[in-house]
Structures are given as structure tokens and as C-alpha cells.
Amino acid sequence: MKSPKFPVLDDHIHIDPRNGRGIDAIKDFKRSGGTHICLVTKPSWSLDVHPSSGEDFAAVFDETLAIAKLIEEEGIVVFPLLGVHPAEITALTPRLTLEEATLVMKEGLDCAAAYVKDGRAVGLKSGRPHYETSPEILNASNQILFHALTLGGELGCAVQIHAETGPCDDVVEMAGSAGMDATRIVKHFGSPETPLMPSLVAKHESIPELCQQKRKFTMESDYMDENERPGAVMGPRSVPRQTTSLLQAGKISEEDIFRIHQKTPEEVYGVEIRI
């Protein structure tokens, strides 16, 4: 196989050998020109973990890192992002009080922060529900998100957030109060109008225009790797294929590719990206 001419990073992808294609999906990613991924932890229940304390999330993080090692054996560079999916609060509250669930999720983020501190992960994952919920749960979720941003500020690491569709303007003020640089908050499944760092799905129609503006953003598939939902949200080949397609069509340049897939993620995650 020829060496790639440029790096291609998928900024939000799940690989799940238990419930999905696992390493076969990574092989597709590599064959299509992919070189680097941000491997994001899945919700605890998808790995058959049902936390009652923050330390229980360690099983999720350890399995994520074990998967990362398998991926690296295929020649793909992995940047793990560990944390607590915002939908955990909906899963926890039937068996815990809202206060208990909030504490468990904050402690789970503390647990993830320990992995970042010792170099086993490059950043945290957090957010708030992207679906309709009660004001009480939304308030608790914002407290959890604020805790994640505080940890990100203390650690000097990125925080990737899963939240409602839209700009999430209020998170900038939240980051300022938490002592975190908002330019290192990645809005997963983002949109151009967000003041945070947008991670755009590979098919996003604004990518050529944003490249003309020299805007900073990353690209993602949000591939879930679940056999029950094959190809959701996009397949593992989508980021490298779309990058190559846009280049061949003259809609983006190699300079744009290096900004999307190397320079921007290096700045956001504090990593080095080479091919």
C-alpha cells in the first residue's frame, strides 16, 4: 500500500468489537486513506457497565484503551478521548436520585481526568443532553459540563462535547468561569456558527466555503460501530473518502487538508500529527 500524501483524522469515531465490526471498520478507514482517529468512549451501558460510582467508569476507559491498542497494531494513530456521555444521566436516574447521578458522573470525569494526567488520553468527553429533557436534568447536566470544563482548564487539555444542535454560545461564558480556553472545546457534530471548535460531519455542505475562509475546524464520521445500526452516523470510510473527493473536485486544496487534519487538531489536542 502506498504511503498517504497527507494525514486524514476522524475527530469522532467509535470502534466497538463487542457490538460492531471492530477492527474491520478500521481496515476500511485505512484503505480509504485514513491515518489518525480520535477514539471516543461509548456510553457505559454499551459495554455492559452500569456505574454506581465514578470509579466504575474505569472499566469503560480501560476497554477503550485496549481497543486503541488493537487499532494501533493496524498502523493507525489513536488519540483517546475519555469521559462520560451526557445521556448517562437519563440511564442513571431511574435507579439513583438526580443528586446521586450527578455526583457519579462528576466522579466519572475525575476518573477520566486521571487518565489524561498520566498521558493515556489526550482529552475529555462531556456535554449535555441533545434531546428534550426536564429543566432539573438540564441544570444538573450543565453542572456536570462545568465540572468537565474545570478539569480541562486544570489539565490544559481539550474537552469534546456532545450537546444540542446549534452554536452552544453559553458554553463560552461557562468555559471562562471554569478557567478553560474555549478554542479547545470541540463541538462534536458541530455547525459553522458555533464559537467553539466545530467538528463537522464529513458530508457537511459548508466545508468548501469554510476552507475558502481559512476557518479552523475538524472532520468526523460519528461512526457508532453497532451492528444494529450499520453505517450510523456515517461509515468509517467517510472522512478519508470525502476529503479525497473534495480535493479531486478542486473544492479544497492540500493546504486546506493539512489545516483540517494536522494543524487544527494539533493545536486543539496538543498532539503531533505526522505521516
Q: Is residue 132 domain-shared with residue 224, that is, in the same domain?
A: no
Q: Cα separation of 197 and 215, whole Å?
A: 10
Strands 9-13 and 36-40, sheet pairing: parallel
Do residues 82 and 68 lie in contact, with contact meaning Cβ atoms separated by under 8 Å?
Answer: no
Global pTM? 0.97
Q: Is residue 189 domain-shared with residue 252, that is, in the same domain?
A: no
Q: Is residue 141 domain-shared with residue 162, that is, in the same domain?
A: yes
Q: Cα separation of 130 and 163, whole Å?
A: 5
Q: Is residue 119 domain-shared with residue 217, that is, in the same domain?
A: no
Give pLDDT, residue 20.
96
Give pLDDT, residue 231.
78
Given 165, 199, 233, the domain boundary residue is: 199
Given 164, 199, 234, the domain boundary residue is: 199
Q: Cα separation of 184 and 179, whole Å?
A: 12
Side chain identity at residue 132, one-letter code: E
Q: Is residue 192 domain-shared with residue 215, that is, in the same domain?
A: no
Do residues 39 and 71 lie in contact, with contact meaning Cβ atoms separated by under 8 Å?
Answer: yes
Q: Cα separation of 184 and 115, whole Å?
A: 18
Helices (H), ranges, the chain: 23-31, 58-72, 88-92, 98-117, 135-155, 170-178, 207-212, 238-248, 254-258, 264-269
28 within domain boundaries = no
Give pLDDT, residue 63.
98
- For the stretch 23-64, pLDDT in tens is 999 999 999 999 999 999 999 999 999 999 999 999 999 999
- For the stretch 70-125, pLDDT in tens is 999 999 999 999 999 999 999 999 999 999 999 999 999 999 999 999 999 999 99
Q: For the chain, what is the domain count?
A: 2
Q: Cα separation of 29 and 43, whole Å?
A: 23
- For the stretch 258-275, pLDDT in tens is 999 999 999 999 999 998
Distance of CA 226 to the CA centre of its chain: 17
Q: Is residue 168 domain-shared with residue 264, that is, in the same domain?
A: no
Q: Is residue 56 domain-shared with residue 183, that is, in the same domain?
A: yes
Q: Is residue 195 domain-shared with residue 214, that is, in the same domain?
A: no
Q: Is residue 74 domain-shared with residue 195, that is, in the same domain?
A: yes
Task: Tell me what percent of the residues of the chain surpass a pLDDT of 70.
Answer: 99
Task: Assign 2 a pLDDT band (cuts: 50, 70, 90).
Answer: low
Do residues 160 and 124 lie in contact, with contact meaning Cβ atoms separated by under 8 Å?
Answer: yes
Give pLDDT, residue 202.
97
Domain range enclosing 239: 202-275
Q: Is residue 92 domain-shared with residue 214, that is, in the same domain?
A: no
| For range 219-246, the mean pLDDT | 94
Which cell numbers in the block locate residue 48?
455492559
Residue 13 pairs in a beta bridge with 39, 223
Q: Cα separation of 68 and 256, whole Å?
A: 28
